[in-house]
């Protein structure tokens, strides 16, 4: 899975929900975070803020102390060697036509991180099923910050767990709509 070219990264990436316990090497983690830092943002405001957990015990404590990540997502992250929580300092965001752009900014930045991770053989899974308010309290986030998403990061296990198999079936992960259904030439 090393040195994938850009097209290979796009075509082979999929959500990973079963991880080996091996930690992510520091250089790889730095490259992932750097990819997020380099992202474009509305008016170059760069509202993203990332909380990085690499201590498995702290990752487990997150759920234990708050009981809010949701049982399914907890099962996914509990054995991951790294968890990144993608936040936004919403006060740094641009609002145009009553639309706040921090969600777009953070999504671009986080996806750049996810693709960079995958190019190095490191899997991840976007997660938004969490309860923001108690989580923000537990994390002691500054006022005005929003939690946009989170993802575990780690080397994929060869064998998919029972929960992953179920979820794959449920979400039909590999299915993509045909191009005609999503593109309108005008």
Ligand X SMILES: Cc1cc2nc3c(=O)[nH]c(=O)nc-3n(C[C@H](O)[C@H](O)[C@H](O)COP(=O)(O)O)c2cc1C
Rounded to a whole number of angstroms, the minimum distance from the CB of residue 151 to ligand X is: 9
* 126 binds ligand X per the rule CB under 6 A: yes
Q: Looking at beta carbons only, is 30 or 173 nearer to ligand X?
A: 173
CA dist 107 and 186 (Å) reads: 27
Of 15, 66, 92, 136, which one interacts with ligand X (CB under 6 A)?
Answer: 15
What is d(CA 158, CA 168) in angstroms, rounded to the nearest whole number? 15
x/- site string to ligand X, residues 75 to 104, per CB under 6 A? -x----------------------------
Q: Which is nearer to ligand X, 138 or 163 (CB)?
A: 163
**Sole binder of ligand X in the list 46, 73, 109, 112 (CB under 6 A):** 73
Question: CB of residue 150 vs ligand X: minimum separation in angstroms?
Answer: 9
CA angle 25, 29, 30 (to 5 degrees): 115
Q: How many amino acids of this chain bind ligand X (CB under 6 A)? A: 12
Min dist CB 27 to ligand X, Å, is 25
Nearer to ligand X, 24 or 148 (CB): 148
> What is the contact mask toward ligand X in residues 143 to 182, using x (rule: CB under 6 A)?
------------------------x---x-x---------
Q: How far apart are CA 16 and CA 156, in angstroms?
A: 6
Whether the CB-CB separation of 64 and 123 falls below 8 Å is answered with no
Q: In this structure, are strands 99-100 and 82-89 parallel, antiparallel, or unpaired?
A: unpaired
Q: Which residues bind ligand X (CB under 6 A)?
A: 14-15, 73, 76, 125-129, 167, 171, 173
């Amino acid at each position: 899975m090393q040195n994938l070219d850009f097209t290979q990264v796009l075509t082979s990436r999929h959500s990973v929900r079963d991880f080996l316990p091996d930690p992510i090497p520091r250089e790889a983690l730095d490259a992932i975070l750097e990819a997020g830092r380099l992202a474009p943002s509305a008016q170059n405001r760069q509202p993203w803020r990332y909380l990085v957990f690499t201590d498995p015990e702290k990752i487990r404590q997150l759920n234990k102390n708050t009981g809010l990540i949701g049982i399914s997502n907890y099962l996914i992250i509990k054995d991951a060697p790294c968890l990144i929580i993608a936040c936004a300092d919403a006060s740094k965001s641009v609002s145009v036509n009553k639309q706040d752009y921090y969600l777009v900014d953070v999504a671009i930045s986080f996806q750049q991180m996810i693709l960079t991770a995958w190019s190095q053989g490191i899997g991840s899974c976007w997660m938004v099923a969490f309860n923001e308010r108690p989580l923000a309290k537990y994390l002691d986030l500054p006022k005005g910050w929003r939690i946009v998403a989170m993802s575990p990061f780690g080397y994929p296990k060869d064998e998919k767990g029972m929960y992953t198999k179920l979820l794959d079936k449920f979400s039909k992960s590999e299915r993509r709509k045909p191009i005609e259904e999503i593109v309108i030439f005008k």
